[in-house]
Structure 1
């Protein structure tokens, strides 16, 4: 069971790193680049999703002080669902357009 949690924690760390890179530079993975319209939301969503998985792993290996299972369950699920919601919104919201972009001729 420990290798499953360890693998999940490693993937969570990758998601956290991916979220930080996206927040810092605006770079999105090439497979998601066509769909993402708001890179900042996408990066924040990846950061929250990865943090949820990493925290669950840290609780499992007893690196962090133990809290009740209800707090771990509901807190982890809240972080995970918030991250997934932000990732979905980053793909569903329309592009932001400035006034100059909508009317390039200046008329």
Structure 2
């Protein structure tokens, strides 16, 4: 299944890098800047989403066929939790001037 694991791994890596940039520098993709109010929370949501993608990648590549549905369910739950955290960042205001970046 390398045709599925390589793109999923690259996507998880890109989302994780974007999350680290949002947490450390307060940088968000230009298409999301208007909607995101708290960049640190948004970055943590991206990291959780990347964790869910990696969880699914691991279960897709190394688990037995009997455990794949459970791994997919847990990974999807983690992805939805990351999306929920990213959604919360659109409604909360940061107490710092730069949007919550350190």
CA distance in 2, matches of 1:56, 1:97: 35
Cα RMSD over matched residues? 2.2
Structure 1 unmatched runs, 5+: 99-107
Is residue 2:14 matched to residue 1:14?
Answer: yes
State the TM-score, normalizing by the size of structure 2: 0.77
Deviations 1:24-79 (A, max 9, x none): 221111111111001111101111111111222123222xx769335412321221
1:73 alignment counterpart: 72
Deviation at residue 95 of structure 1 after TM alignment = 2.5
Structure 2 unmatched runs, 5+: 97-102
CA distance in 2, matches of 1:89, 1:80: 14
Relative contact order, higher structure (CA 8 A, sep 6+): 2
Which structure has the bigger radius of gyration?
1
How many residue pairs align between the two structures?
95
